[in-house]
């Protein structure tokens, strides 16, 4: 793969008696970063779905025009000049 440079190299396991990885080992960092991005994206999507469902339960609608609690349509607009 181009992002992680996945090749058929030595797995990233430190053998007994060595303190560091031997030469030619695969780099696990790109795969870990991609997996972290997938997990964060999925959790953000789940949060948005729960937030949307909770707003629908409280307000009884999923129309964003009907959710205007701070600026209702029936009130006049504030003055533009000071």
The b/e string for 23-32 (b: 16+ C-beta within 10 A; e otherwise) is eeebeeeeee
- pLDDT tens for the 82 residues of the chain, in order: 455 555 666 677 788 888 887 777 777 788 899 999 999 999 999 999 999 999 899 888 888 877 776 676 777 777 887 6
What's the CA gap between 1 and 6, in Å, rounded? 5
Task: Name the pTM for this structure.
Answer: 0.56
What's the CA gap between 71 and 73, in Å, rounded? 7
Cβ-contact 30, 4 below 8 angstroms:
yes
pLDDT, position 1:
47
pLDDT, position 75:
74
pLDDT, position 82:
65
């Amino acid at each position: 793969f181009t992002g992680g440079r996945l090749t058929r190299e030595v797995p990233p396991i430190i053998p007994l008696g060595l303190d560091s990885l031997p030469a030619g080992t695969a780099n696990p960092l790109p795969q870990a970063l991609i997996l972290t991005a997938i997990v964060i994206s999925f959790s953000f999507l789940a949060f948005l779905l729960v937030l949307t469902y909770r707003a629908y339960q409280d307000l009884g609608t999923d129309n964003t025009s009907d959710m205007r609690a701070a600026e209702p349509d029936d009130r006049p607009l504030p003055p533009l000049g000071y």
